[in-house]
Structure 1
Amino acid sequence: MNWNYLILVLVATIAGGIIPMTVRHISANFTIYLLAFTGAFLFGVTIMHLLPEVYHELGHAAGAYIVLGFFLQVFLQQLSHGMEHGHSHLPNENHHHHIAVTPLLLGLSIHAFMEGIPLGFQYEDQSALPSLMLGVAAHKIPEALTLITVMIHAHKSKQQLWQILIIFALVTPVAAILAGWLGNRFEVVSHYLVYLVALVIGAFLHISTTIFYESGTKHHELSRKKVMAIALGLVLAFITLIFE
């Protein structure tokens, strides 16, 4: 387990959460292009690094678990209202305080825990783990930004915002540590970790493709700048193949 990678994920999450606490008016375009870039990068890393690993380990059975993970994320989205892909499906910002916060935090925390599981897996491809760490860290910025924005509109105090942010920031690194520790000590856990990674791949595919078509758009259009942000994310994902 590379602690520097986990620190990177932790710092990226906290940085994303700090933005809405310190910037009064966040540009809508900033969020749109950040989401497009991070979503494309996560998508590319998932396709280029994670998919080959699980298909090598599980064969055609991997597809069933990936599909299951995709629809597991659909279920989690009903709790989190879409915060894991960087924007909320809540009805109106002015009414956020009428919506129960607990299901939002529960759904997003389960997703964050799932994100950490592949970070504790042992990959044959030496570039897979650092590439995935970068993808998850990039994804954490808009994810935490959206979480804290929603909590601000839910009228949480400054102290509560920091508590929520710190706890949320720890979920993914703790999941990675648990997966790595248990996988190294118990053969049965190591065996089944690959199935969990396949589930997470399905969740990643759901999140990243949703970001492509929903983030900041009214009619699911792809503007030129958004296409450029997506292309940049995919190019960066391709560059990670150099380190194989």
Structure 2
Amino acid sequence: MNWNYLILIFLATLAGGIIPMTIRRVNANFTIYLLAFTGAFLFGITIMHLLPEVYHELGHTAGIYIALGFFLQVFLQQLSHGMEHGHTHLPGEHHHHIAVTPLLLGLSIHAFMEGIPLGFQYEDQSALPSLMLGVAAHKIPEALTLITVMMHAHKQKPELWRILLFFAVVTPVAALLAGWMGSRFNIVSHYLLYVVALVIGAFLHISTTIFYESGTKHHELSSRKVLAIGAGLLLAFLTLIFE
């Protein structure tokens, strides 16, 4: 396990969470274009690196688990209310109480799932560093949205920091557990590939939802949003040089 990868993901998560705590009013367009860029980047990484790997190993069976992962993410979204793809317009957020626990639970399960593929040993040597970059980039808007929602729930600074630090370690811990167990138990290493397929489905749901939503009016694709998506896809293509 490359500790530099985990440290980068941890720091990216902290950076995303610090933004709303230090900037009184984050420009809505910044969040929209950041989501579009990171969503496209994650989509490209998934298509170019992870999909070929699981189909090579699992054959057509991979499609079953990818579909299951897609709809698992649909279920998790009921808990997180779509925070993983930038949604902050929560039911009842204009009232004094927001149900924080299910939001944090849903997003933490998603974050744990994100970490598991980072502990898998890929035949494609470019898959792991590329995936690490994709997850780290996705963590920035993810943490930004989480802390924004927690601030709307009137959480004070010390509690915001506790929530952010907890969230920042979930993905690295999942990667460490997957890597440790996979290297010691052959059966775990085998079934990790099925989990990776599930996570691919979740990534596809999140990234494609970002394309069409990301907070824009009527969910339109503005020219700037298209440019952000194009830049994310281009960066994903550039990761092929790691091969």
Does TM, normalized by the shorter one, top 0.5? yes
- How many pairs were matched up? 243
Aligned to 2:237: 238
Aligned pairs for 1:1-244 within 5 A? 1-91=1-91, 93-95=93-95, 97-244=96-243
Question: Deviations for 1:56-102, whole angstroms, at most 9, x for unmatched residues?
Answer: 1100000000000000000000000000112234036433x422110
Distance in 2 between the 1:188 and 1:86 partners? Answer: 36
Distance in 2 between the 1:183 and 1:15 partners? Answer: 30
Distance in 2 between the 1:116 and 1:66 partners? Answer: 17
TM-score, normalised relative to structure 2 = 0.98
Distance in 1 between the 2:42 and 2:20 partners? Answer: 23
State the identity as a percent.
Answer: 85
RMSD between aligned residues: 0.9
Equivalent residue letter for 1:154: A
Equivalent residue letter for 2:106: G
Report the CA distance between 1:157 and its aligned residue. 1.0
Equivalent residue letter for 1:90: L
TM-score, normalised relative to structure 1 = 0.98
Runs of 4+ residues deviating >4 angstroms = none
Secondary structure, aligned partner of 2:124: coil
Unpaired runs of 5+ residues, structure 2, are none
Unpaired runs of 5+ residues, structure 1, are none
CA contact (8 A) 2:65 2:201 kept: yes
Secondary structure, aligned partner of 1:219: helix
CA contact (8 A) 2:92 2:98 kept: no
Question: Deviations for 1:87-133, whole angstroms, at most 9, x for unmatched residues?
Answer: 234036433x4221100010000000000000000001111000000
CA contact (8 A) 1:213 1:220 kept: yes
Report the CA distance between 1:203 and its aligned residue. 0.2
CA contact (8 A) 1:13 1:141 kept: yes
Secondary structure, aligned partner of 1:94: coil
Distance in 2 between the 1:37 and 1:92 partners? Answer: 29
